Amino acid sequence: MCTLRAQDLDAVKRNLVGTWRLVSYIREEIPSGAKSNIMGPHPSGFLNYSSDGRMIVLYVGSDRKRPIGAVANASEAETLYRDMLSYAGTYEVKRDVIIHHVRVSWNESWTGTDQTRNYKLEGDRLSLMTTPSPDPVEGKLSVRTLVWERVK
């Protein structure tokens, strides 16, 4: 387990503040170890951490299709819903994890929950890894790793 000194933890918190662009999203299934780009090879999204302890995240899969008309029909709406993830709330950093306290979410089952992420912060790259849990897209037991790059 990582044991950060208080001043190191403060530095991590300061370095998180800002906007991050999604680079990749990889799911590793448990127990098989099979890896996949669950949101496609080029997902898009943004994550923002503010200095007042608030956060917001939105990401979508690769190659999303526009609805045929001005309003998505039921099938199109379901596809668009399953091809995105978004939530907002507050966050805190504790040693080797970042905890997102979800206050509003694209999926009401996440509202009011804490989403714990292991992290690795290296320069302008931030990797967030979930704990083993069902993925929000297909429900498969897995660990998901999202790699973010700081927006400059």
Where in the chain are the domains? 6-150
Q: Which residue from 78, 54, 59 is spatially nearest to 67, judged by alpha carbons?
A: 78
Beta bridge partners, 30, equal none
Which architecture characterizes domain 6-150 according to CATH? Beta Barrel (2.40)
Residue owning tokens 């804490």: 114
- For 44, residues 6+ apart whose C-beta sits below 8 A from its C-beta are 21, 22, 59, 60, 62
Tell me the C-alpha distance between 36 and 48, whole Å. Answer: 25
Tell me the C-alpha distance between 27 and 38, whole Å. Answer: 6
Return the SS3 of 13. Answer: helix
Taking residues 131-139, what's their average pLDDT?
Answer: 87
Given its phi and psi angles, is residue 128 left (phi above 0), alpha (psi -120 to 50 degrees) or beta?
beta
pTM equals: 0.89
Give the tokens for residue 151.
Answer: 């927006």
Give the tokens for residue 6.
Answer: 């208080």
12 or 48: which carries more pLDDT confidence? Answer: 48
Taking residues 44-72, what's their average pLDDT?
Answer: 96
Give the tokens for residue 41.
Answer: 């090879």
Q: CA–CA distance from 70 to each of 15, 66, 74, 77, 84 (Å)? A: 41, 9, 13, 12, 19
Q: What is the pLDDT of residues 87-121, one digit of tens each?
A: 999 999 998 899 999 999 999 999 999 999 999 99
DSSP state of 144: E
Taking residues 66-82, what's their average pLDDT?
Answer: 94
Q: Which residue from 95, 97, 67 is spatially nearest to 81, judged by alpha carbons?
A: 67
- Tell me the longest C-alpha to C-alpha distance in the chain: 55
